Structure 1
Amino acid sequence: MAGSKFGAVGAAIWFLAVVAAGSALGHTGDDHGGGGFSSGFMHPLLGPDHVIAMVAVGLWGVFLGAPAIWVLPIVFPLVMALGGAFGMIEVPLPAVETGIALSAVVLGLCVAFALQPPLWAAALIVGAFAIFHGYAHGTEMPVASDALSYALGFVVATGLLHLCGIAFGNLARWPVGKMAVRAAGVVIALAGGAYLSGVA
């Protein structure tokens, strides 16, 4: 019991540290590490809009319970990899940044209201937004990077962010913890709204 509490608190601290890193701006097109895997791994972590949406997937999975708690964090990276491939080969996709910001709004609200749609509907929502996140990663791949290693990097980083969301979401087993998780959903939705309006 104590171990799970420590893991959730550690995940929350890590999440806040990443989001609070003011100089870490995503979608710059800069080379985050100079290589394939390291660049891909760092790209999601250096974009706060990516971080909050990825964490929200894990949080929502906790409210949905099994099997969604594991299905959603698998669907998102898989579909995101497809979106990344589209970005790498420059398939046109409009309103990418809007889609990313909107993902934080929608997923944050799903957590805030503890929505429990059928698994197929939740997977469809998550998969649709994953396309935009993956596309952004793909289009911003450094020129010198190996595409496969870069894609593996951002998929692994995304999976870890989902796990952070699941760890924090486990607080929902207690009434006060459930309120904290739902409050985190509100914060994520508000942050997404700020990105959507161009404030952030």
Structure 2
Amino acid sequence: MTSSLSTSSTRLFVRAGAALCLGALPLLASAHGTDAAHAHTGFAEGLAHPYTGLDHLAAMLAVGLWSGSGASRRAWVAPLSFVGLMLAGVLLAAGGWALPAIEPMIATSLLALGLLLAARQQLPAPVAAALVGGFALFHGAAHGMELGDSAAAVTGMLLGTASLHLMGWLAGRSLQQRHGWVTRAAGLGVAVFGSALLLA
């Protein structure tokens, strides 16, 4: 009884997350075209921001899916590392530190995360944290340039990111036993998307 309720709740949450992602699709055009005059300054804008860039959206869901599919025994390590080091990237950007090759590194993160997810590759927790966290620095730097120095917007963005990780993790947990091919297909899709961005 409890198991069926848990499965039902997970499916409902995943469907709600998918609907939220689809609802954000009209905003994709503004993903990286934001300049200082259009910087997000409020909590709500920051919360929605991770949903408005397809590259960030794919990376954050991939981290959650990979973690939920058994990336390491401590499934929370990679998402927590991503959020923490993404904040570091935001702070670096806000402080005027310019990381090199931000867009190519974001594309590389999609390629790497997609391949890890497609292969359902397990890594030791410290390695998973370092890999995901390293990529998160570049995602954070990109967000930081768009969000400016608004603490409310950054807080919202971190919560939005965590929500995407949670959706991905729940989906990964739900699919890993009987429908592992879905996560593999999703991983291949993310990897192809990353490759396309690198070649563009």
Q: What's the TM-score, normalizing by structure 2?
A: 0.86
User: How far, CA to CA, are the matches of 1:117 and 1:126 in structure 2?
Assistant: 11
Give 1:189 deviation, angstroms.
1.1
| Secondary structure class of the residue paired with 1:171 | helix
Alpha-carbon distance in 2 for matches of 1:155, 1:125? 19
Distance 2:28 2:87 in 1: 26
Q: Report the counterpart of residue 187 of structure 1 in structure 2.
A: 189
Q: CA deviation at 1:10?
A: 3.3
Task: Please provide the CA RMSD for this pair.
Answer: 2.1
Q: Does the aligned pair in 2 maintain the 1:104–1:188 contact within 8 Å?
A: yes
Deviation readout 1:62-109 (Å, 9 max, x if unpaired): 122665321211111111001001111121211001111111111111
Percentage identity across paired residues of the two chains: 35
Q: How does 1:10-49 map to 2 (within 5 A)?
A: 10-18=16-24, 20-21=25-26, 23-30=28-35, 31=38, 35-49=41-55
- For 2:173 and 2:70, the matched residues in 1 are separated by 12
Summarize the alignment of residues 134-173 of structure 1 with structure 2, pairs less than 5 Å apart: 134-142=140-148, 147-173=150-176
Q: Tell me the TM-score normalised to structure 1 length.
A: 0.86
Range 62-71 or range 186-195, more displaced? 62-71
Unaligned runs of 5+ in 2: 1-6
- What SS does the aligned partner of 2:123 have? coil
Structure 1 residue 13, shift from structure 2 partner: 4.1
What is residue 115 of structure 2 aligned with on the other side?
Answer: 109
CA contact (8 A) 1:38 1:153 kept: yes
Q: Judging changes above 3 Å, is the alpha-carbon distance between structure 1 residues 133 and 17 closer, same or farther for their aligned structure 2 residues?
A: same
